[in-house]
């Protein structure tokens, strides 16, 4: 673990970690807002596009592929911030001040007694980030009749839904991994 900082250095390290933590939380929240805006804009484009409504299933499938991309990219960024936030908290609680309780509320034992808020936050954000990927099922059912018209349409629909399912699995795995890391960061001190 290394030397435990003491004196004026420990306050400087704590202030640095706290500033990083606040910045990460702010960036995570901004990324969630940017995700909702990007998703709203993309879904508006998909649902109101005249070209898309008149287009072939192949064209619809190409347009649809932006949705899993948006979900995967934003999930990766948001979950990276979740993991780093947990690791900074662990650093402050167990490495910077292992035997003392810092005076700030964000390091108090009472805050960390109930970790249900970590579960609620991760699951809530997983719902927000993964729900649009379920649109792939709706897309498949809406276009099943068109897919029967030609082999290209069938391949386009199967490919699109496959990409959506892989993106959904990838994002779900990332959320589970981030939850596990955050849960371990909140647990007892490292050995």
pLDDT in tens, 141-176: 888 887 788 888 788 888 888 888 888 888 888 888
CA 82, CA 85: separation in Å to the nearest integer?
Answer: 5
Residue 26 banded pLDDT, cuts 50, 70, 90: very high
Asked whether 159 and 68 are in contact (CB, 8 A), the reply is no
84-88, 117-121, 149-153: range with lowest mean pLDDT: 117-121
**What tokens appear for 46 in the block?**
């998909």
Residue 81 banded pLDDT, cuts 50, 70, 90: confident
Instruction: Evaluate if pTM is beyond 0.85.
Output: no
Asked whether 20 and 88 are in contact (CB, 8 A), the reply is yes
Per-residue model confidence (pLDDT) at position 30: 93
Mean pLDDT of 124-138: 80
What does the mean pLDDT of the chain come to? Answer: 78
Asked whether 13 and 96 are in contact (CB, 8 A), the reply is yes
Helices within 91-150 (DSSP H only): 109-113, 116-130, 135-142, 144-147
Residue 104 has pLDDT above 70, yes or no: no
Per-residue model confidence (pLDDT) at position 66: 86
CA 70, CA 171: separation in Å to the nearest integer?
Answer: 11
Mean pLDDT of 83-101: 75
């Amino acid at each position: 673990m290394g030397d435990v900082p003491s004196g004026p250095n420990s306050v400087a390290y704590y202030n640095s970690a706290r500033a990083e933590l606040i910045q990460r939380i702010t960036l995570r929240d901004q990324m969630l807002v940017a995700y909702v805006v990007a998703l709203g804009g993309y879904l508006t484009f998909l649902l109101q596009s005249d070209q898309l409504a008149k287009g072939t299933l192949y064209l619809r499938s190409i347009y649809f592929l932006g949705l899993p991309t948006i979900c995967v990219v934003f999930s990766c960024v948001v979950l990276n911030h979740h993991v780093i936030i947990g690791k900074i908290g662990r650093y402050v609680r167990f490495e910077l001040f292992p035997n003392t309780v810092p005076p700030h509320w964000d390091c108090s034992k009472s805050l960390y007694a109930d970790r249900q808020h970590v579960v609620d936050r991760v699951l809530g954000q997983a719902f927000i980030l993964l729900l649009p990927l379920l649109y792939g099922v709706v897309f498949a059912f809406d276009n099943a009749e068109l897919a029967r018209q030609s082999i290209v349409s069938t391949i386009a629909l199967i490919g699109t839904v496959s990409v959506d399912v892989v993106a959904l699995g990838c994002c779900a795995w990332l959320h589970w991994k981030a939850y596990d890391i955050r849960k371990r960061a909140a647990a007892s001190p490292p050995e």
